[in-house]
Structure formats: C-alpha cells, structure tokens
Amino acid sequence: MRSVNKEFDNPSDILQSEGCQNKIQQALQEKNQHSFSQYYYGHPDKVRRDLEQLYFGKCAYCETKVTGSVLRVDHYRPKDKIKEDNTHTGYYWLGYEWSNLIPACEKCNRAKYNAFPLEVTGIRVTKPPLDNHGELDKDSCRADSPSLLAEKPLLLNPEVDEPELHFVFLPNGKIKALTERGKETEEICNLNRFDLVLARKIIVDDFLSKIRQLAYDFIEGVINKETLHYSLKCLFFDMLKLQSPEQSYSRLGWFMFKKFKLFFLKPLTTKQRKVVVKAFQLFKNGKL
C-alpha cells in the first residue's frame, strides 16, 4: 500500500450525472434497503477506468497489478451492515461517493468485505449528514471531512493516510506492521497471504540470485571488474525502477534499495559482500 493523491472534488462524470444523483436520493430514502447500482460506481469504462488510471491498474491495498474485470471497486466505508457493529446499517449515503471508492483485487476485496473497525476513541458516524433543506452535505461525505476523520478508522486509506508510516517489508516477502493501524489493515486485507508473500519473495530472491552470481563470477575470475560494475549497475537501476508507482509492490522496491544491506548483503559470503557493497556505494554516489 502506498499514498495516492485523488482529487475528491473532481469525481468521474457518471457520479455527477442526474441518474446517479437520483440514486443517491433513493439511497437516503431507502437506507440499507437500497439496491445499489454498480452501473454508477463500477462501470468499467467510467469509474473503474478512472480508478485504474489513478492507481496504475493496481490494488489499493496490496499493490498487485490487476486489469479489466478482475479489478473490483471497493467501498472503503462499507455501504452495507458493518461487521463490527450489528446496529449500524452501513454507510449507504456513501455508496456513490467518489472519495469512498477504491480499486481492489478480488482477494483483498473479499477479505475486507464489510470490516470497518475504529479506534477505541473513534466516534462512528451513524446517519447521513443533511443540510437545512434535507439535502446531503457533500463536503461532509468526503473521506477527509472532520466528521469522518473523527471516526479514527483502523483500516488505512491510501487517499487520506500515509501507509508508508505503518509497514516495513522483509526479505522473506512478508510485511511487518509498525502500528496498530498497520496491524489491523494487514489482518483485514490479509496482506500476508501466501500468494502475496510468494510474489514479493520471488522478486527479492531474483535480485539476490543475480547479485550473488555476479559476485561469485568476479571472485572466480569469470568476469572482470568492468563487467561486474556494468551488470550490477543495471540491476541497481532495475531496483530503482521497481519503486515507480506504476510497478507492482513498489513499496517493496523502496525497501529493497533503502535497506540494501538487510536484503542483499547479509545473505552473501564475506568476500561477496565486500565486492557488492563497494559497487553499491559507487552507484549511490553516482560514480558507477
């Protein structure tokens, strides 16, 4: 998960259409009995397309690259009954709210479902914010509105929070939570499920295998220093590219580079380590 800048005041056109506004009014009247229309919040050529572009086709929670029908439009605040509160009818008034729609892969979407726990001191919003005319107060529906922030959700929102402060990535492909919110988010979305851990570990192991082989070949005299440095330089650049927001698991890429010693030096032999650490320092200083 990484921070994403979404313009809450610039929703997809279809969400501003007359038909969608009518649906919002119906939801206010019918409440949790409202039959939500995916046409407005999940249209593949409109909302889902805009979310795909904003998130580079990745799941907002696990950063797996997904496209087409595999991408789900998740309601950050569930539109139906809340898992942790049987008396809450769900945030039905946010069913078509742009700032409440987040792209998710099928597995994260299924794992999260209607979970939305709050901190102990959080104040859950139970009714739609209406103005003096009985109309929905759109400003109070934004994910960054004071009333919704006061709920203190434990589930991280990449469009409001800084997920980077709540997780670290490990060489074994797992993520480790640094905070209570990070721990809850990991558990809610099952971010350490087998397929995710394996996918991340494969990336780490592939870089490590190539680095180890180059160091070994240099020590054994199979390649010279120029070849070693050129090949390592290409690998280091690939590592930097992995940090780009359009790449799957870009936060893992960030940790691989910033925690290079943990990920790639520690597993090497002493001789291999000396060869690689020197090249890495040269690369960081722009001299490789």
- Residue 210 and residue 155 in one domain: no
Q: How many CB atoms lie within 10 A of CB 150?
A: 13
pLDDT tens for the chain, 288 residues long, are 999 999 999 999 999 999 999 999 999 999 888 999 989 988 888 899 999 999 999 999 999 998 777 789 999 999 998 988 888 989 999 999 999 999 999 999 999 999 999 999 999 999 999 988 888 999 999 999 999 999 999 999 999 999 999 999 999 999 999 999 999 999 999 999 999 999 999 999 999 999 999 999 999 999 999 999 999 999 999 999 999 999 999 999 999 999 999 999 999 999 999 999 999 999 999 888
pLDDT of residue 183: 97
Do 57 and 151 have their domain in common?
yes
Position 4 in a domain: no
* Domain final residue pick, 114, 144, 160: 160
Domain count, the chain: 2
Specify the pTM.
0.92
Evaluate whether residue 166 is within a structural domain.
Answer: no
Task: Give the separation between CA 93 and CA 31, rounded to whole angstroms.
Answer: 8
Query: Under 8 Å CB-to-CB from 99, ≥6 apart: which residues?
Result: 6, 8, 141, 142, 143, 144, 159
- Sort 173 into a burial class: Cβ within 10 Å, 0-12 / 13-18 / 19+: buried
Residue 182 lies in a domain: no
How far, in Å, are 1, 119, 122, 185, 273 from residue 181 at the CA level? 13, 9, 13, 6, 37
The pLDDT value given to residue 131: 86
User: What pLDDT shows up at residue 42?
Assistant: 81
Q: Residue 75: enclosing H or E segment and its boundaries? A: strand 72-75
Does residue 116 sit in the same domain as residue 198? no
Of 160, 180, 209, the residue at which a domain comes to its end is 160
Burial class (CB in 10 A: 0-12, 13-18, 19+), 109: buried
Structure tokens at 111: 């794992």
pLDDT at 102: 96
CA dist 286 and 288 (Å) reads 6
* Residue 199 resides in a domain: yes
Phi–psi pair at 148, nearest 5 degrees: -75, -35
What pLDDT does residue 51 have?
94
Q: Same domain, yes or no, for 143 and 279? A: no
Quote the domain boundaries for residue 60. 13-160
Residue 174 forms part of a structural domain: no
Q: 10 Å Cβ neighbour count for 172?
A: 10
Tokens of 120: 């102990």
Let me know if residue 189 belongs to a domain. Answer: no
What would the two tokens of residue 243 be?
């940090």
* Structure confidence at residue 19 (pLDDT): 94
Please indicate, yes or no, whether residues 139 and 229 belong to a single structural domain of this protein: no
Whether residues 24 and 151 fall in one domain = yes
| CA 101 vs CA 134, 211, 258: distances in Å | 24, 41, 32
